[in-house]
Chain A
Amino acid sequence: MLKVLIPTIMLFPTIWLSSPKWLWTATTAHSLLIALVSLAWLKWTSETGWAASNMYLATDPLSTPLLVLTCWLLPLMILASQNHINPEPISRQRLYITLLASLQTFLIMAFGATEMIMFYIMFEATLIPTLIIITRWGNQTERLNAGTYFLFYTLAGSLPLLVALLLLQQSTGTLSMLILQYSQPLTLQSWGHKIWWAGCLIAFLVKMPLYGVHLWLPKAHVEAPVAGSMVLAAVLLKLGGYGMMRMMVMLDPLSKELAYPFIILALWGIIMTGSICLRQTDLKSLIAYSSVSHMGLVAGGILVQTPWGFTGAIILMIAHGLVSSALFCLANTAYERTHSRTMILARGLQMIFPLTAVWWFVANLANLALPPLPNLMGELMIITTMFNWSPWTITLTGTGTLITAGYSLYLFLMSQRGPAPSHIMGLSPFHTREHLLMVMHLVPVLLLITKPELMWGWCH
């Protein structure tokens, strides 16, 4: 674990001591090396449930895919930001990459944490660089509103979590995940216990986000610059899912009854946010609402607490992280050329940028969960386990899949097909950097078709 964490902390000297000519090359290369080293975690050699452990950090089959995703994403974020940060003075560029690197450090420590309190502190700590990125480098005036929504929704959800964790510490004497998994089941009967149950989960449900408390997400995703959108969509939402999976161990047997409202909100949210996607005019807003839709499926899968549900949730989280980040990168390429996120403006791009149309095509097919991509595998496992939970859920999940296909195709056809607007000039050709970015997003998704065992969690 320290093999990756210390190089990530060493990114800070790399950023501040590189000469301006080599800043982006050096940081991209450094973070790419960290990403390649982190791939070593995927080889599972440990006999126990946890590997690569020291006193405070460890990896296990749940956190390993998410850690590798986080490490993989940092070079991609730096690649994507290169263009729009270029006009700024050097120290501000360094500050931007510092924020990305500090976000990375907090995320690695969050996913690798073995104590719930450390996870909580890192969970909160990731809010700060993200808030600074959204409010300082966003493009429209609405970014202040977006930052406020983002910060206060997450904080309001996670303050009950702190109280709940302290109560848990008091009743079980420890908050280490290694020990909690073996503790006696808690007798949870009174109303106070039910409020404790809700307090444990609300923070993660807001972060996921669950349908009722999802308002921060479209604002934050749309107003953030591309690296902010990428990290938000790909990793920060998964922090919520990961936290939920860790907490669910402790929360039986109340979860059988109390999970109903949240499962229902998650399922209904799939349909509602999918339908909202069909009416969007803003490109990034559509991708943001599709993130809410997919995460609703993940939340449903986690809340039914079955092995298939957890496995499907992890697979869908990893696949959705890569694909959603890819879609945000593509939306950013359109934005950098036309300076507008309106979908009807950036039309007919297939004739102008044929290779990019391939990336749009693959990314949209992945978003609509085409077999044999892992998106489908995750969704199928979650749909199956929810069908087992109650056969009536198939109406909701099936309709949700249909609507997902609808808006993904709408996104593709709107942006690629049709006549290009005649008054758009000066669409600079695609840089190699942008193609490389898309390849590095989509090739892992395609490779994961061949070895999904890497993502399966405990179904080793």
Chain B
Amino acid sequence: MADYKEAYLATRPKTLDPAEYFNLSPDYRRTEEERAALRSRLKRHYLVQLNNPHRKELIEDPALTRWTYARTSNIYPNFRPTPKTSLLGGLFGVVPLFVLYFVFKTDRDKREDKIKAGNYERPYKLSS
């Protein structure tokens, strides 16, 4: 593997990067070992629960809990009126109401005027 050459236009994968294995500082090694220990503890906890034959309930996934909490109950404390959010809110929440009012009002007023003038032809035979 010492003579590994990447393919043309490809990048070297991280596992074959010599910087991953040589000249590592003790600090880096220690943090990586701690992270590996954490990961394996979590995985072991998950596998113990997964393979427990007496388990009847769901394995609780704290990441899923955090995700659903963030998506459902924690929205407003993290909302901040920025130009983008104000624009979006106005564009989808405020402007359509006025646009629709304008559209419906002019359309129905035109029809009302035609009815009052007596020359409204019903385009469709709708009972009501």
Contacts and interface: CB of A to CB of B under 8 A. Distances in A.
26 contacts: A142-B73, A260-B105, A261-B97, A264-B100, A264-B104, A265-B97, A267-B100, A268-B97, A272-B92, A281-B67, A281-B71, A282-B68, A338-B58, A339-B58, A340-B58, A344-B64, A345-B64, A385-B128, A388-B126, A390-B103, A390-B104, A391-B107, A392-B103, A423-B49, A424-B58, A426-B56
A306 interface: yes
A105 interface: no
A194 to B, nearest CB: 16
A337 to B, nearest CB: 9
A161 B49 CA distance: 56
A60 B93 CA distance: 39
Contacts of B108: 389-390
Which secondary structure dominates where chain B touches chain A? helix
B96 interface: yes
B126 A339 contact: no
Interface string B56-92: 1111000010011001110000000000000000001
Contacts of A385: 126, 128
A308 B127 contact: yes
Contacts of A309: 128
A55 interface: no
B58 to A, nearest CB: 5
B50 interface: yes
B101 A264 contact: yes
Q: Sort A-B residue pairs by CB-CB distance and give the 6 closest, nearest first.
A: A426-B56, A306-B128, A308-B128, A264-B100, A388-B126, A390-B104
A317 B108 CA distance: 28
Contacts of A345: 58, 64
A142 B56 CA distance: 26
Nearest to A425: B55
A388 B126 CA distance: 7
A340 B58 CA distance: 9
A388 B128 contact: yes
Contacts of A338: 58
Nearest to B58: A338
Nearest to B96: A268
Contact of A260 (B64, B71, B73, B104): B104
A261 B126 contact: no
Given A265-B97, A384-B126, 11 more contacts: A260-B105, A267-B100, A268-B100, A272-B93, A285-B72, A308-B128, A390-B108, A392-B107, A423-B58, A423-B59, A425-B56
A384 B93 CA distance: 26
A307 B56 contact: no
Interface in A361-388: 384-385, 387-388
A342 B97 contact: no
Contacts of A389: 108
Nearest to A305: B128
Contacts of A339: 57-58
